[in-house]
Structure 1
Amino acid sequence: MQVDIGNALSDVARPGVSEGALERLDERVARVHERIERGMADDEFGYAALNLPETTDATEIREAVEPLTDADHVLTVGIGGSALGAVTVSRALGLDGHAVLDNVDPAETRRVLDALPLADTAVHVVSKSGTTAETLANFLVVREAMTEAGVDWTERTVVTTGADGPLRAAAETEGLPALDVPEGVPGRFAALSTVGLVPAAILGGDVEGVLVGGRAARESLALSLFDSPAYAYGAVCYALENRGATTNAVMPYLESLEPFAEWFAQLWAESLGKDGLGQTPVRALGATDQHSQLQLYRAGRHDKLVTLVQSSERPDVPIPETDVAGLAYLGDGETTLGDLVDAEFAATEASLAAAGQPNVRLTVDPTPEGVGELLVAMEAACILVGELHGVETFTQPAVEWGKRAARGLLGGGEFEEADAVAEKRRLVVE
């Protein structure tokens, strides 16, 4: 992976960061790197995520899912980090047939189930606690739908969960293959584990290659941001946030990486949104959003960093020749769709720079190794930013507050957070 931070420097952008400021910040990066290395060496909570490329056992995953590899479709039932990483990996690997239930919108749940050939679908249920309300509710709906379709759901289901809880108990009772959620790893950091790799393994993806790429990213971490793409990206994000770029718009120019932007949004928001700090992540897609969001990114407030993601290579499609006036520059028999998207990427990048809007270019390899490298690099960048800010990167107290409130409203226990619902201030206009 390569990171180009040139368009985030102060002689190009405002806000921008000078090379001198980055050199001063590099002293802090070195100290943080030493802290991260200690955390990895001791397998501390959160830092253990960066060990997953080494500790995840691809053979164990393949053995667990082997009875399901005849399926052409996989349905992940999970939410947040229990689903986003898996979708990101499978889509980035170009694997078709991966659906997800990561919400409890009844209409969407019904649409997904109606669209799937359930007899040809493997189900992967993911919940670390085994008590996640949305996941368990959807799983019960899926079980019923499969039974009504004449499918033995126990023969089509694999579970990833903690050592205890209702989901583990159900797996043991029904004889389901069950994998362990990695210890000490928050869900949003668990893409390179059983949590994120099971669907890809069922669909025949190269999960071993993903882990190899993750190891490469880990090995590229260094004492200096100028020697580490992950730290270079994290340090620039931190510096620009302190200078007013409180939004980070992530814009991949590959459809296969559109889920990556969603995964990144959870990683960045849930990890760094604390103590009045944290960039707000925004999801965009190139070249589609050049025709919409780019208007704001170029001509709006100077409070944004745009992260542009491109592939180092891609399969291509030639644009057919045409005699239509005005289209000869496209249909000349030589230009391809790849040429067009590359030109649009370059134009967007130059457009932002010309307007003084900071942007960073990430160039990734379109291989399993490249996918693993990208995900681990972004995790390391996130941890770096959290350390520089001095926040608790691996916790999510605001998320847990909402979970307790919802559980209390549904009769799942006495939670004072649920009382706040009745205290809502109202000003209704009809």
Structure 2
Amino acid sequence: MNVDLGNTIETTPGLTDETLDRLDDRVAAAHDRIVAGMEADEFGYAALTLPETTDPEAIRAVMDQFDRPAAVLTVGIGGSALGAAAISNALESDVDAHFLDNVDPDAVDALLADLPLAETVVNVVSKSGTTAETLANFLVVREAMAEAGVDWTERTIVTTGEEGNLRSLADEHGLPALDVPDGVPGRFSALSTVGLVVPALQGHDIEAVLAGGRDGMDALAGSLYESPAYAYGAATYALAERGALTNAVMPYAESLETFAEWFAQLWAESLGKDGLGQTPARALGATDQHSQLQLYRAGPPDKIVSLIRPTERADTTIPETDLDGLAYLGGSSLADLLDAEFAATEASLAAADVPNIRVEIERVDERSLGELLYGMEAACVLYGELASISTFTQPAVEWGKKAARGLLGGGDFPEADAVADKRELRIEQS
């Protein structure tokens, strides 16, 4: 992973060379804290050791219990699904990957109606084993399989903690089970059993994903000028301090669109605390040049745009044409056009004094994905250190979980009582 900060200098808001030099001393101290946390296997910091601590052989041993399926259905939510989705959606496979990460009944019913359940492996993921949305969806999936005459116990994998409902279920029915790593928040678990089961079932090289993560580990250093991940984390932090409170992540590869969703959870849930943080916005190049770019270039000066692209990709030649005004396209290629769109967007933002950061990976493959995921996790942790944020907690999310559980009769929670206090100002159609 390579990072170019050139278009954050003297923008609005923006940095200076002197700003980065001063910040570099703080990066060195933050790096020492991060390394100490990794070495002590502290909560949260343990995520940055996953490329070394995750055992791909344990994952392979569970996968070997299944013939190659037609599809894999992950039942999970948030970090229990997005890491796996970011990897599997970026890579091509003849095994379809689907993710039940919401409880919209229309979407759930439509997906189950289309799936070849007898040829589908169900991957249920919840660290606590008590996540309401995940368990509700799994009960629906289990019933659908039974109604289709499929023995769900022969088609189900569980990834969970040492205790909880899912662990008990796995023990009771002899289901293959994998452990969620201790000390790793879900949104940081892509390079673990949580994120690698799906790509393994699809036939992808999960060892290469982990090797990419190790590349990211090896690139960490006590200076932002020597570490691309820290350069990104430090620059985004410094720009947020100066008013860039939205980070628009814009990959120029459609295969990385789900990566932007994964990034949005990582950034929002980790850094949005104590009135601080940076709101992630998802965009896709070149599609959103024709929609969101208008706001980024000409709207309020409160944004940074993160442009992400692979430097190598497959290509398709554009056929020759004699149509007036289009002849210049003939003989070129779609990759050439996309690269031109990338360069034009980058220059357009710079010309409007909008800070933007270029992030490049070599190609969209297992190793580069592992490095990109790890790099952004390390960047997020560094940002949290610089901002003195409790990066690895999510108290606002827990509040909502308790409120929902109380409303459904799952316990007595004062958060649920607060729902009744909602103020209404209804305007109804006459």
Q: Same fold (TM over 0.5)?
A: yes
Superposed CA deviations along residues 182-237 of structure 1, whole A, max 9, x for unmatched, are 00000000000000000000110110000000011011100100000000000000
| Matched residue, 1:87 | 85
Secondary structure of 2:327 counterpart: coil
- 1:259-408 equivalences in 2 (<5 Å): 259-330=258-329, 332=330, 334-365=331-362, 366-408=364-406
- 1:22-421 equivalences in 2 (<5 Å): 22-95=20-93, 97-330=96-329, 332=330, 334-365=331-362, 366-421=364-419
Superposed CA deviations along residues 359-409 of structure 1, whole A, max 9, x for unmatched, are 001001222111000001100000001011111000000000000000000
Q: Equivalents in 1 of 2:223, 2:70: separation in Å? A: 45
Secondary structure of 2:133 counterpart: helix
Size of the aligned set, in residue pairs, is 426
Runs of 4+ in 1 over 4 A off after TM superposition: none
Q: Equivalents in 2 of 1:125, 1:318: separation in Å? A: 42
Q: Equivalents in 2 of 1:284, 1:302: separation in Å? A: 18
How far 1:69 sits from its partner (Å)?
4.1
The answer to whether the 8 A contact 1:65-1:177 is kept is no
Does residue 9 (structure 1) correspond to residue 9 (structure 2)? The answer is: yes
The answer to whether the 8 A contact 1:72-1:203 is kept is no
Q: Which amino acid aligns with 1:372?
A: G
Superposed CA deviations along residues 59-115 of structure 1, whole A, max 9, x for unmatched, are 100111112241021111000000000000112233351110000000111111122
Q: Equivalents in 2 of 1:115, 1:358: separation in Å? A: 45
The answer to whether the 8 A contact 1:69-1:203 is kept is no
Percent of aligned pairs with the same residue?
A: 67
Secondary structure of 1:159 counterpart: strand
Secondary structure of 1:313 counterpart: coil
Q: Which amino acid aligns with 1:79?
A: I
Q: Equivalents in 2 of 1:120, 1:355: separation in Å? A: 53
Q: Equivalents in 2 of 1:238, 1:143: separation in Å? A: 45
TM score, norm. by length of structure 1:
0.98
How far 1:271 sits from its partner (Å)?
0.3
Q: Equivalents in 1 of 2:195, 2:215: separation in Å? A: 18
The answer to whether the 8 A contact 1:302-1:357 is kept is yes
Q: Which amino acid aligns with 1:274?
A: K
| Matched residue, 2:427 | 429
Secondary structure of 1:329 counterpart: helix
Q: Equivalents in 2 of 1:115, 1:299: separation in Å? A: 44
Superposed CA deviations along residues 108-153 of structure 1, whole A, max 9, x for unmatched, are 1111112211122111000000000000000011111111112111
State the Cα RMSD in Å.
0.8
Q: Which amino acid aligns with 1:176?
A: L
Secondary structure of 1:317 counterpart: coil
| Unaligned ranges ≥5, structure 1 | none
Distance 1:308 1:69, change over 3 A: farther
Q: Which amino acid aligns with 1:119?
A: A
How far 1:323 sits from its partner (Å)?
1.9
Q: Equivalents in 2 of 1:267, 1:94: separation in Å? A: 24
| Unaligned ranges ≥5, structure 2 | none
The answer to whether the 8 A contact 2:62-2:176 is kept is yes
The answer to whether the 8 A contact 1:322-1:328 is kept is yes
TM score, norm. by length of structure 2:
0.98
The answer to whether the 8 A contact 1:308-1:362 is kept is yes
Q: Equivalents in 1 of 2:372, 2:92: separation in Å? A: 16
Secondary structure of 1:227 counterpart: coil
Q: Which amino acid aligns with 1:6?
A: G
